[in-house]
Amino acid sequence: MSDFKDIKNAAKQKSSEAFEEAKDKASSAYDTIVDTAESIADQVQETVSDVYFAGKKKVEQTYDAASEQTENVTEMIREKPLTSMLIACGIGFVIAKLFKNNS
């Protein structure tokens, strides 16, 4: 009976050791995954921030350019109102012809 108890105790010990080893490996893998996920999250956040600020800068540049062009057109209209009106009529005529031909 002593042999059976020894075998039982040895199996119990091996089982306990295997469980502890598996637990340590799982904990280590979990820590690695958490560290990797945090690193990826930081990189994504930094990239999103860079894209946001680059986009914001482009929108501001586009707005500034559009404002400048609006001022230029307004100034041209003030300087040459008759020419501006004739150009607008010509553009309107061309657009009307294009839509009329496509319908």
Band (pLDDT 50/70/90 cuts) for residue 7 is confident
Distance from C-alpha of 5 to C-alpha of 54, rounded to nearest angstrom? 72
Residue 53: which domain range?
A: 2-102
Number of domains in the chain: 1
Distance from C-alpha of 26 to C-alpha of 83, rounded to nearest angstrom? 80
Q: Is residue 24 a contact partner of residue 31, using CB atoms and an 8 Å limit?
A: no
pLDDT, tens digit, 9 for 90 and up, residues 35-92? 999 999 999 999 999 999 999 999 999 999 999 999 999 999 999 999 999 999 999 9
pTM, two decimal places:
0.51
Distance from C-alpha of 73 to C-alpha of 91, rounded to nearest angstrom? 15
